[in-house]
Chain A
């Protein structure tokens, strides 16, 4: 029987799954369900519970239908129509739940439902490829939520499952066991790793994030723009990392580590808040800072997304904060260049970023280590403002000032007062009423740094000395090659305007010197509310946690923060300067093809050492194999070509000529001239066959 098979373009395209309408087999379905669950599970942390439940139960229902294909209700429930209905209802529910639909969370939730729905209605084997693509996409969306090492590790099983599914799709006809596939995908994934690494390095990055990710959490701990009694103490009970710092040279002494955050000068008698009017620091300001001739240091700050605008720098900042990249590291001290400044220093020494920090930020900063902030203009009125509230304090201040000779001596006297009177430094002071400074100074006499700083500033203002509160962090913990500053390092201190400059005065240091010298735990040895990681006792867990922090820090530094700037410096380093896109493409293609050649190309090179006729023979066998006429390995050349004649009778003369030529070249003793002629003729015939076979009519069906 002759089956007529005309030419069609479809035959030229590779077919992934030849059995078009065949049902998906159980093995593929189980593998896909495993993959889907692995992809879904991490998402359940970010989804409303009902979305996770709907998604997971659809997978479960599909498996139940597989076990019991005759089940009527399940069959009806998972029919394309009702699954579409479920998806549509879910979309409405998502809109109702979130209140909006265009945004990260509802869109991911919708995708989550859709992928599960597709799996629920899948029947045909060919749909597996589509599902794999969907799963890969859903897997990727996890990185919208978290880019930590944990997130990367969590996605690994799903990646393996994805590769496994791809592998089993290829051997639908002769299934292999799990070990075989695991070995195969392990090998393939390892072979792909260098290419992935290469793409990571050279794939062009956009200068900013592709789209601005929404604020993930509103409840981050950190300094706020106001301070009232107890607010810093509360913050100090958290172990969370405020930021991390890498110093170019040596780490300064602990008592120099005053990380300036927010300057608060408005006072309502109880709480302090940020000033309404702020001025950008000019070159004059930076000149004044540098003219103090204090040691200058450069460092890199890695700030997690804290949803505020504050940036932190050691007192006194001598440059604008600049985006981190390799070049900025080399010329760090140039204070006036604002080309890549990501924030601004203000005249009160505070630094604000251009916009809220919603992504982890890495910036370069330099500082002159000094406890003096230069004043470029006269202190403003609000640094003297004092509500008529804490009357006892004001009276006490005036008496004390009368006894001292100068403002500076008065400030020293106040600090001595804190030092010598029975004041107590504690994280858990008694609660204060409506006149907190009075109560603290004369009644309770116990408090945390904000109580002391607040009282000190009030005492200064009471006698007409301009003063203000600075909140920020003090100290930090050295972990290998960088410094961790935690929320427990949060601190508040005072600054007084003396002799034309703002002089730092830390009353906490007067009460509990060890707080500044050795940290919180040393100052508060017996208090239970000091967080675990801030305590000084060494321990296994603490050590492990510190190491984990190191790992995370480097992950952030090397992987997440690898952006277009890092890429540019990478191109600089290999001497390409500004690499054009085509150069990058050529380099990537070159390396990739070299690697691929090394991995898969070796057999080809070995073959090229074969004699010409053997190469031609292999080529002919391959050509016919591509038209699904495979040579049996025990079939002789003549038999094989005879079979080819039966398939393509129109080409009989070519095949017979080839058969004879091959026999002569391969098995007969002929001279070189004849060999050359025959080889040329062979090649011609083979190329002719390669070009024309797709258009020939076949007498026999392909096997």
Chain B
């Protein structure tokens, strides 16, 4: 076993250490959810937006909060409601009577991490204002284009659609989210721990910030240098093909995203190369919401596909 460990450590990169620190910190905040943490981190590394779907109270916001805090990025939060206007998200031009000019007051979108809470409670207009910003990484107000932060991530949470007062996100907009994950209830032991030690959300703001925006950018670039061998590409292709035989398949863009995400995931595991296991582990999060429009049912379907496709 020691041989195995040395073989792997040979390939590790220096920048890994702060990242593993981030990982460890997050695990102390969100107990027993290391897989979700890994997925969320690799999503950020792959410069993708993250969608968290689950019932209220399982730690969606905590995860988003802790993520942004421990990555050392600015973050703002918008609580989406049914009367939310686009201007509430992107900002508004206000007439300044002193300078006699319209001045742009930037909205919460001008930040590194935007936590969009309960995104499916807002009407379509407000949703699409945000989603445009996610895609273009810029907003245009009154004919003036304002670029967003270089590191701009949206972490959106949403309630499962069968809850009352929810506006379903259309599939084209779901595609903008790199991955969709569920948090799920904690297991018995974790829950006990949680009950005994109280809510962890308060800790989030006290986390150390081992990584800055620049270091994160470097890590992102390094992650995309991961070696991916042809059997792994074959596997990715086979998976994509399998989704296309099952109704709504993955688009080529989604395929590229799968490659990016697998690389980031492998990077987080401190390897120099991508394994088929990486692809397998991230596949459901990436493909689920794209195939069915809902993270929950999508994951089930994605697992069915994983069961059908042989691993190299």
The residues of A with any CB-CB pair to B shorter than 8 Å are: 614, 633-638, 656-657, 659-660, 663-664, 666-669
The residues of B with any CB-CB pair to A shorter than 8 Å are: 1, 3-4, 7, 11, 227, 229, 231-232, 272-277, 280, 306-307, 309-312
Q: Are A636 and B273 within 8 A (Cβ)?
A: no
Bound-state CA distance A664–B311 (Å) is: 16
Given A636-B277, A669-B227, 7 additional A-B pairs, CB 8 A: A634-B309, A638-B275, A656-B4, A657-B3, A666-B312, A667-B231, A668-B272
Closest residue to A661 on the B side, CB-wise? B7
Residues of B within 8 A of A637 (CB): 276, 311-312
Bound-state CA distance A129–B312 (Å) is: 39
Residues of B within 8 A of A659 (CB): 4
B35 to chain A, nearest CB (A): 16
| A-B CB contact pairs (8 Å), 5 listed | A634-B280, A638-B277, A660-B3, A668-B11, A669-B272
Q: Are B311 and A668 within 8 A (Cβ)?
A: no
Bound-state CA distance A657–B277 (Å) is: 19
Bound-state CA distance A633–B232 (Å) is: 15
Residue of A614, A635, A657, A668 contacting most chain B CB atoms (<10 Å): A668
Residues of B within 8 A of A614 (CB): 231
Closest residue to A640 on the B side, CB-wise? B311
Q: Are A667 and B307 within 8 A (Cβ)?
A: no
Could you say which of B1, B11, B311 contacts A656, with CB atoms under 8 Å apart?
A: B1
Residues of B within 8 A of A669 (CB): 227, 229, 272-273
Residues of B within 8 A of A634 (CB): 280, 306-307, 309-311
Residues of B within 8 A of A660 (CB): 3-4, 7
Q: Are B309 and A636 within 8 A (Cβ)?
A: no
Residues of A within 8 A of B272 (CB): 668-669
Closest residue to B228 on the A side, CB-wise? A667
Residues of B within 8 A of A635 (CB): 311
Q: Are A667 and B309 within 8 A (Cβ)?
A: no
Q: Per DSSP, are chain A's interface residues mostly helix, strand or loop, or mixed?
A: helix
**A666-B231, A668-B272 known; A633 and B311 CB under 8 Å?**
yes
Q: Are A667 and B232 within 8 A (Cβ)?
A: yes
Bound-state CA distance A660–B1 (Å) is: 10
Bound-state CA distance A142–B3 (Å) is: 69
Residues of B within 8 A of A668 (CB): 11, 227, 229, 272-273
Closest residue to A639 on the B side, CB-wise? B277
Q: Are B1 and A664 within 8 A (Cβ)?
A: no
Q: Are B3 and A656 within 8 A (Cβ)?
A: yes
Residue of B310, B311, B312 contacting most chain A CB atoms (<10 Å): B311
A256 to chain B, nearest CB (A): 78
**A634-B310, A636-B280 known; A667 and B273 CB under 8 Å?**
yes
Bound-state CA distance A666–B312 (Å) is: 9
A677 to chain B, nearest CB (A): 14
Q: Are B229 and A636 within 8 A (Cβ)?
A: no
Q: Are A636 and B7 within 8 A (Cβ)?
A: no
Bound-state CA distance A636–B232 (Å) is: 12
Residues of B within 8 A of A667 (CB): 227, 229, 231-232, 273-276
Residues of A within 8 A of B307 (CB): 634
Residue of B11, B272, B309, B312 contacting most chain A CB atoms (<10 Å): B312
B131 to chain A, nearest CB (A): 35
Q: Are B4 and A636 within 8 A (Cβ)?
A: no
A656 to chain B, nearest CB (A): 6
**A636-B275, A636-B277 known; A666 and B229 CB under 8 Å?**
yes
A305 to chain B, nearest CB (A): 63
Bound-state CA distance A144–B311 (Å) is: 57
Closest residue to B273 on the A side, CB-wise? A668
Closest residue to A633 on the B side, CB-wise? B310
Listed from nearest, the 8 A-B pairs whose CB atoms lie closest are: A633-B310, A669-B227, A668-B273, A667-B229, A636-B277, A667-B273, A667-B275, A636-B311
Bound-state CA distance A669–B10 (Å) is: 13
Bound-state CA distance A667–B273 (Å) is: 6
A616 to chain B, nearest CB (A): 13
Residues of A within 8 A of B1 (CB): 656
B257 to chain A, nearest CB (A): 20
Residues of B within 8 A of A656 (CB): 1, 3-4
Bound-state CA distance A374–B4 (Å) is: 104
Closest residue to B2 on the A side, CB-wise? A656
Residues of A within 8 A of B229 (CB): 666-669
Bound-state CA distance A659–B229 (Å) is: 16
Q: Are A664 and B310 within 8 A (Cβ)?
A: no
B230 to chain A, nearest CB (A): 9
Residue of A657, A659, A663, A664 contacting most chain B CB atoms (<10 Å): A663
Residues of A within 8 A of B309 (CB): 634
Bound-state CA distance A636–B273 (Å) is: 15
Residue of A635, A656, A666 contacting most chain B CB atoms (<10 Å): A666
A658 to chain B, nearest CB (A): 11
A10 to chain B, nearest CB (A): 33
Closest residue to B266 on the A side, CB-wise? A667
B10 to chain A, nearest CB (A): 10
